[in-house]
């Protein structure tokens, strides 16, 4: 197999991926904060790292994929209070919805899915270690803060200079802090909020400490590959490094990987800006059989480090392209055989994916292979197309079922009625039936010998 290289945000360079234990790879991805349904921008991140986990396994690594769930957070508490329900009830319902959405996108379940509320003791142990090392302090308001200026190297991931940082943007100014850049490790209990007992008094963990504790508990350190969206680089991942390495887990992570934004009309899509569609809203407008894979295809065909723009037209284009692949696989039954990596197209696909997951080049290879299937009608070429697609989570639905989609109309009965009309030379009625089906999104394809096949538009 080709040597796998990944762009490391920490070094700003592509590096050979070498796990700290030969043949194994620990992947940690910052998962959802479960206070609402995910939007399609969130879906891009989780689809990207599903692709990464699949490819790591394709190249022969024994992968442990950990994707956490943040089930205690200011947003969860606020939203639960708005609805008048316990925070756990909201978190459980949104976590279940998240997993349903992931299944629609054909995301594999992570090997481990730790919940923050189950690791509070581990977080408190980490905070105590940081306090012992002089990197954490108790504030007069009962909170515990990390002392940023006492940790050498703070800013090395995001390339930010402490003297240039200003309180604002994403750093709250609080009088209890010694420095505006310090961040909360433990938040003292407030009336009406959930809390846990600790030596620091009743309270709850800060957001950043959660991932440091869960990653160390689930994978140990160093973590081979740590991922998330690019907006987590600062402050979340920067703070994870400070906490973990400050506590003695050095290095905390060997390779940092960040995915770019998905934009709406060329502007970052986010809940805070209010310019987003939830994944559920989009899937509700798509065919139930094809919608999830269509969105997945749209999200993966651009390189993960390049911003992509969401419009209905770009999504529709992805869907039409996917139909072309499934049409080829319906016309030529794929041979069932393992991937022959010596095949020139398979070798190019492997080289592209092993070069920092270069999906645009890999997709170009799939297009070329589809052309070969259409041209040669080769079962072996069709088999290779299906097998290579499988490494990215594509082309595994029965082609006929995929092309027909979730049609409620009795298409077969309409085709039989049209065939009878043609036999009776009632071509006006036959044409009317075709138009009726086209209006319902059904495309008919008359084949030699009088057979008619159909698919959804």
Please enumerate, by residue number, every residue annotated as part of a binding site for Zn(2+).
30, 211, 236, 240
Burial of 316 (0-12, 13-18, 19+ CB in 10 A): middle
* Structure token digits, residue 338: 């393992």
Q: How far apart are CA 67 and CA 38, in angstroms?
A: 15
> From the annotation, which residues make up the binding site for ATP?
271
Sign of the Cα torsion 327, 330, 331, 334 reads: positive
Instruction: Report helix, strand or coil for 445.
Output: strand
Q: How far apart are CA 306 and CA 41, in angstroms?
A: 13
Sign of the Cα torsion 39, 252, 257, 24 reads: negative
Q: How far apart are CA 23 and CA 117, in angstroms?
A: 32
Helix 379-390 / helix 344-353 crossing angle, nearest 10 deg: 10
In degrees rounded to 5, what are phi and psi of residue 91? Answer: -60, -40
Q: How far apart are CA 91 and CA 95, in angstroms?
A: 6
> From the annotation, which residues make up the binding site?
30, 211, 236, 240, 271
Peptide bond into 251 cis (omega under 30): yes
Decide the pairing of beta strands 442-446 and 24-29: unpaired
Edge-first strand order for the sheet with 136-138 is: 136-138, 144-146, 183-188, 203-205
* Structure token digits, residue 150: 């006492």
Asked whether the beta carbons of 51 and 246 are under 8 A apart, the reply is no
> How many Cβ atoms are within 10 Å of 217's Cβ, its own excluded?
18
> How many Cβ atoms are within 10 Å of 178's Cβ, its own excluded?
13
């Amino acid at each position: 197999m080709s040597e796998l290289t990944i762009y490391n945000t920490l070094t700003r360079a592509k590096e050979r991926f070498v796990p700290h234990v030969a043949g194994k790879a620990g992947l940690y991805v910052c998962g959802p904060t479960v206070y609402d349904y995910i939007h399609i921008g969130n879906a891009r991140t989780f689809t990207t790292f599903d692709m990464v986990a699949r490819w790591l396994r394709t190249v022969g690594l024994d992968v442990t994929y950990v994707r956490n769930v943040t089930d205690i957070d200011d947003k969860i508490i606020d939203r639960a209070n708005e609805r008048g329900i316990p925070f756990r009830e909201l978190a459980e319902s949104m976590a279940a919805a998240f997993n349903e959405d992931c299944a629609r996108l054909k995301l594999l379940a992570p090997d481990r899915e730790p919940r923050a509320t189950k690791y509070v003791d581990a977080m408190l142990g980490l905070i105590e270690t940081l306090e012992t090392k002089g990197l954490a302090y108790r504030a007069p308001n009962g909170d515990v803060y990390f002392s940023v200026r006492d940790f050498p190297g703070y800013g090395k991931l995001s390339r930010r200079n402490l003297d240039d940082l200003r309180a604002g943007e994403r750093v709250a100014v609080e009088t209890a802090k010694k420095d505006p850049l310090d961040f909360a490790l433990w938040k003292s209990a407030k009336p009406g909020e959930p809390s846990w007992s600790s030596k620091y008094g009743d309270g709850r963990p800060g957001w950043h400490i959660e991932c440091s504790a869960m990653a160390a508990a689930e994978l140990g350190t160093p973590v081979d590959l740590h991922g998330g969206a690019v907006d987590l680089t600062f402050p979340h991942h920067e703070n994870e490094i400070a906490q973990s390495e400050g506590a003695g887990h050095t290095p905390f992570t060997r390779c940092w990987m960040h995915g770019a934004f998905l934009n709406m009309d060329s502007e970052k899509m986010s809940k805070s800006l209010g310019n987003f569609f939830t994944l559920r809203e989009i899937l509700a407008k798509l065919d139930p059989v094809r919608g999830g894979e269509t969105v997945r295809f749209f999200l993966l065909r651009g390189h993960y480090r390049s911003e992509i723009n969401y419009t209905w037209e770009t999504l529709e284009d992805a869907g039409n392209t996917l139909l072309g692949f499934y049409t080829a696989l319906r016309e030529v039954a794929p041979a069932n055989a393992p991937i022959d990596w010596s095949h020139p197209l398979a070798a190019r696909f492997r080289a592209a994916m092993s070069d920092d997951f270069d999906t645009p080049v890999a997709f170009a290879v799939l297009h070329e292979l589809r052309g070969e299937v259409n041209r040669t009608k080769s079962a072996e070429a069709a088999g290779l197309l299906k097998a290579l697609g499988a490494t990215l989570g594509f082309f595994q639905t029965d082609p006929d079922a995929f092309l027909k989609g979730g049609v409620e109309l009795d298409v077969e009965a309409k085709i039989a009625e049209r065939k009878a009309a043609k036999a009776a030379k009632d071509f006006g009625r036959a044409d009317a039936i075709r138009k009726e089906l086209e209006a319902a999104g059904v495309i008919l394809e008359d084949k030699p010998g009088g057979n008619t096949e159909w698919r959804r538009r």
